[in-house]
Amino acid sequence: MKHFTTDELCASFLLDGKKIYITPGTHTYAGGLEVTLEHSKAADNADYLKIHLKNTGDANTARIRNVRTLDLEVTTAEVPLYHSLDGDDCGAVSFMPRDFEVTGDYHEEPCGGRSSDLTGFPYFDLTWGTDSAVFAIGWTGQWSKDILKTDDGFRVQIGLVHSDFYLKPGESVSGASVLIVTGTGTTAARQNFRRIMREHYSPRTRLGDAMYLPTAIQCFDRYYAGAGNVRTDEGWATEAGQYEMVDCAKKTGYIDTLWIDAAWFKGGFLRGGVGNLGYDAGFPRGLRPVADYAHANDMKFVVWFEPERATPGTDLSHHEDKLLLQQDSGKTGIMMVNLADDNVRAFVRDYLIGMIRDNAIDVYRQDFNFRPLAFWTENDEDGRDGITEMKYIAGLYDLWDSLLAEFPHLLIDNCASGGRRLDLETSRRSVTLWKSDTGCFPENAERQQLTSTWSQNQGLGLYEYLPYLSCAVWEYDAYTVRSTATQGLACNFDVLNPAFDFAGAEKMLAEVNEMKEYWDGDFFPLTKAAADESVWCAFQLSLGERGAAYVFRRSQAEEKTFTLRLRAVDENLIYRVRFSDEELHVTEAEHTGAELAAGIDVTIPQKRGSLLVRYEVKA
């Protein structure tokens, strides 16, 4: 197994045109420039790096360019294999795999300043011979990754796209962070990485056993936004309407959270109200009565915010000279709240602390529905490319850290038009309850919206890297729910319909509840992600002596039988295996570990059907 030594873990930058390499520690240069490469280890095979730059002198520093937190050279005769994912695009290609041999130089960056948007994904792995390494990028902006061929191997460079600046006296900035987890072979490295993310770089490190993902009633897109041509209900976005949602949720037996999305503030989300600070008319007493009602019914409370954006005519837009960044070249009407400014950030922090405290909010949901890059670049001073972005991203982290310090049990939900900010630093501080905006719509043939298939494909890639993700479902049939449910689920059920089958929903959610603990295990994709309705899909969760596999026969798959080959089973033991079909009927069998590893045939008689296979060592 390859372990990188401290001497191999280098950062680099150009200082007045000269290439500088640094190893972990603090280094000082002429004029008082102090550069620190922070280094820590969560395990022997896990290295975390972050770069910091500070001007301790009396004058501006020399020109600093091309800040790379990692500039790693690997010597090998093997051609490295690259694996990563596409970013989120709210469609069929969201988080689809990218796999290829690195035979030439390769560059990647996200689209428009959000860290997992469309063209870039901040997690990837490289395999050369028997050695593998998984890399995570911690930068909630415009990062870059470059894999460069060298005469005797390859080089990995990770840093910022925009970094050509100088520092003023007393000024400091930080660059991207990088986590590297090594292993023998691709699968082992990814398994190690997911465990380390869960135990050391997620809210679990702070919350411990209190860490959970909610099974929530979340009907914004059904009753407020009217997505998928379903009816809207004007009474939903009111105090009384939310009481009714709590009452309906309790009838399902397993929904543990009330989730109110972007409809509580003056003007609302769809009517240009983002940037207003007060409550909509439907909530004349604020949200505290709703929170109290949810808590009295043993439910947590999630509330949506978008504190980084303002639209014309809103409360924040009237303070644009003090609070906001403008985009001169854009005609979107969007204004960006300037978290790079200490005073602005303090205003936002105090507002959010007051809202969370006064409304007894358990899960703070922060959304971010625009691409910020042009706002940053167009507000840089001459000769200081990247400085606004660096200060803004530092401000975002400071804001979240301040909220977590004020509310130690708070859970932050990280959203950005779906899953477009899924980098290491956001994952350390938050979870993702809405992995893609594909969850905003029901499955609909007229829209060619294959929500369940897209969710299956997203999971096959994302769950290898990230342990805490969920999204929304609109129906409660087994195929739909199993395609999306993890430790959590956002239920966009039509609970206000008098004909809604609460007993049917309860039966399905009981299974979701039973399966939550399995998601703390290892994840194995058993098929490849494919935008193809004629194939089967399967993945496995392993908790050592027990585990589960989810198997899906898609809507155009002609074969009724699939050979299921399980991973991480002991071939010398006997396992009790339970099969739960699309109607939740359960049958049982016994198989040796050797049989499960070699493959057992499972049958799903209907197209668009699913099977949950649970196994445990026979006592």
SS3 593: helix
- When the pLDDT of each residue in the chain is averaged and rounded to a whole number, the result is 95
pLDDT at 583: 98
Between the two ends of the chain, the Cα-to-Cα distance in Å is: 35
Is residue 400 within 8 A of residue 430, CB to CB? The reply is yes
Show which of 502, 520, 538 is a domain's final residue. Answer: 520
Residue 447 has pLDDT above 70, yes or no: no
Strands (E), 218-361: 257-260, 300-305, 309-310, 324-325, 335-337
pLDDT at 325: 84
Give the mean pLDDT of 357-386: 97
pLDDT at 186: 84
Residue 189, token pair as written in the block: 């490295």
- Find residue 126's DSSP bridge partners: 82, 133
Chain centroid to Cα 399, Å, comes to 18
Show which of 475, 501, 520 is a domain's final residue. Answer: 520
Pairing of strands 335-337, 309-310: antiparallel
Q: Is the pTM of this model over 0.75?
A: yes
pLDDT at 331: 58
**Are 300 and 369 contained in the same domain?**
yes
pLDDT at 128: 96
**Are 328 and 434 contained in the same domain?**
yes
CA nearest to 112, candidates 370, 338, 306? 370
Residue 2 has pLDDT above 90, yes or no: no
Residue 248, token pair as written in the block: 């309906």
Element (H, E) at 323: helix 320-323
**Residue 187 domain-assigned?**
yes
Task: Report the C-alpha gap between 86 and 81 in whole angstroms.
Answer: 16
SS3 314: coil
**Are 544 and 515 contained in the same domain?**
no
The C-alpha angle 389, 206, 472, rounded to 5 degrees, equals: 70
Higher pLDDT, 184 or 219: 219
How many Cβ atoms are within 10 Å of 307's Cβ, its own excluded? 24
Q: Enter the DSSP assignment of 496.
A: T
CA nearest to 286, candidates 267, 272, 300, 265? 265
CATH of the domain at 255: 3.20.20.70
| Secondary structure, 3-state, 56-98 | CCCCCCCCEEEEEEEEEEEECCCCCEEEEECCECCCCCCCCEE
pLDDT at 184: 87
- Report residue 1's pLDDT band, with 50, 70 and 90 as the boundaries: low
Q: Which of 138-147, 218-227, 460-469, 523-532 has the lowest mean pLDDT?
A: 218-227
**Are 480 and 532 contained in the same domain?**
no
Q: Enter the DSSP assignment of 223.
A: I
What is the residue whose two structure tokens read 């309705």? 533
**Residue 2 domain-assigned?**
no
- Taken in order 530, 531, 532, 536, is the CA torsion positive or negative? positive
- Residue 616 backbone phi and psi in degrees, to 5: -155, 155
Is residue 156 within 8 A of residue 146, CB to CB? The reply is yes
**Are 331 and 470 contained in the same domain?**
yes
**Are 490 and 534 contained in the same domain?**
no
Residue 172, token pair as written in the block: 């400091």
Digit-coded pLDDT (tens) for 83-99: 999 999 999 999 999 99
CATH of the domain at 119: 2.70.98.60
- Report residue 327's pLDDT band, with 50, 70 and 90 as the boundaries: confident
Show which of 165, 183, 201 is a domain's final residue. Answer: 201
The C-alpha angle 428, 422, 260, rounded to 5 degrees, equals: 90
**Are 379 and 247 contained in the same domain?**
yes
CA nearest to 416, candidates 144, 142, 117? 117
- Report residue 263's pLDDT band, with 50, 70 and 90 as the boundaries: very high
pLDDT at 229: 47
CATH of the domain at 547: 2.60.40.1180
Digit-coded pLDDT (tens) for 99-128: 999 999 999 999 999 999 999 999 999 999
Digit-coded pLDDT (tens) for 279-319: 999 999 999 999 999 999 999 999 999 999 999 999 998 88
pLDDT above 90 as % of the chain: 90
Is residue 222 within 8 A of residue 191, CB to CB? The reply is no
- Report residue 154's pLDDT band, with 50, 70 and 90 as the boundaries: very high
**Are 605 and 530 contained in the same domain?**
yes
- Report residue 271's pLDDT band, with 50, 70 and 90 as the boundaries: confident
How many Cβ atoms are within 10 Å of 383's Cβ, its own excluded? 11
**Residue 441 domain-assigned?**
yes
**Are 179 and 314 contained in the same domain?**
no
**Residue 5 domain-assigned?**
no
- Spatial strand order of the sheet with 215-217 comes to 411-414, 363-366, 300-305, 257-260, 215-217, 489-491, 472-473
**Residue 143 domain-assigned?**
yes
Digit-coded pLDDT (tens) for 21-47: 999 999 999 999 999 999 999 999 999
**Are 440 and 565 contained in the same domain?**
no
Q: Enter the DSSP assignment of 596.
A: H
**Are 578 and 605 contained in the same domain?**
yes
pLDDT at 323: 82
pLDDT at 610: 98
**Residue 1 domain-assigned?**
no
Residue 81 has pLDDT above 70, yes or no: yes
Digit-coded pLDDT (tens) for 579-601: 999 999 999 999 999 999 999 99
Element (H, E) at 427: helix 424-429
Task: Report the C-alpha gap between 25 and 30 in whole angstroms.
Answer: 17
- What is the per-residue DSSP string for 438-491? GGGS--BTTTTB-HHHHHHHHHHHHTTT-S-B--EES--SHHHHHHH-SS-EEE
Task: Report the C-alpha gap between 400 and 203 in whole angstroms.
Answer: 12
Give the mean pLDDT of 350-372: 98
Digit-coded pLDDT (tens) for 500-520: 999 999 999 999 999 999 999
Q: How many domains does the chain have?
A: 3
Residue 483, token pair as written in the block: 């395609």
Residue 231 has pLDDT above 60, yes or no: no
**Residue 275 domain-assigned?**
yes
**Residue 3 domain-assigned?**
no
**Are 147 and 163 contained in the same domain?**
yes
Q: Which domain holds residue 534?
A: 523-617
Q: Would you call 604 exposed, middle or buried from its count of C-beta atoms within 10 A (0-12, 13-18, 19+)? A: buried
CA nearest to 9, candidates 256, 124, 144, 179? 179
pLDDT at 330: 55
Task: Report the C-alpha gap between 134 and 179 in whole angstroms.
Answer: 8
